[in-house]
Amino acid sequence: QQQVKQSPQSLIVQKGGISIINCAYENTAFDYFPWYQQFPGKGPALLIAIRPDVSEKKEGRFTISFNKSAKQFSLHIMDSQPGDSATYFCAASRAGGYQKVTFGTGTKLQVIP
């Protein structure tokens, strides 16, 4: 039972372009949606997160867009750079109480010069 669906599985973007990764969730009890970034040989690390009381959150070149009615959220990377090449995981959890995070299947992003 996959509660968080992520697409695409892989993505190639030219330097300077926009990278877009999409996720959809099923459990309406989820109310915290983080994105994790993973470089080869390393563990994932928190990149940016959003709660459903806002429709968008921006940190530098990274933006999360959130559509509560559609149960979808996406990560946009503006002006993509080769250093952004990594695997990105969306995730979902319940903010209140004990944390148990459900991850998407991951998107491998390659930014080519």
Partner 1 sequence: NAGVTQTPKFQVLKTGQSMTLQCAQDMNHNSMYWYRQDPGMGLRLIYYSASEGTTDKGEVPNGYNVSRLNKREFSLRLESAAPSQTSVYFCASSVGQGDSPLHFGNGTRLTVT
Q: Is the peptide bond before 8 cis (omega within 30 degrees of 0)?
A: yes
**Closest to 68 in 3D by CA, of 25, 100, 35, 22:** 25
How near is the Cβ of 92 to partner 1 at its closest, in Å? 10
Question: β-strand 33-38 against 86-92: which pairing, if any?
Answer: antiparallel
Q: What is the footprint of partner 1 within residues 47-66 (CB under 8 A)?
A: 49, 51
Instruction: Find where tokens 């949606």 sit.
Output: 33
Size of the site for partner 1 (CB under 8 A): 29
| From 28, 69, 83, 100, residue interacting with partner 1 (rule: CB under 8 A) | 100
How near is the Cβ of 90 to partner 1 at its closest, in Å? 9
Count other Cβ atoms within 10 Å, centred on residue 95: 12
Q: Does 105 bind partner 1 (CB under 8 A)?
A: yes
Which residues sit at the interface with partner 1, rule CB under 8 A? 6, 9, 31-32, 34, 36, 41-46, 49, 51, 89, 93-106
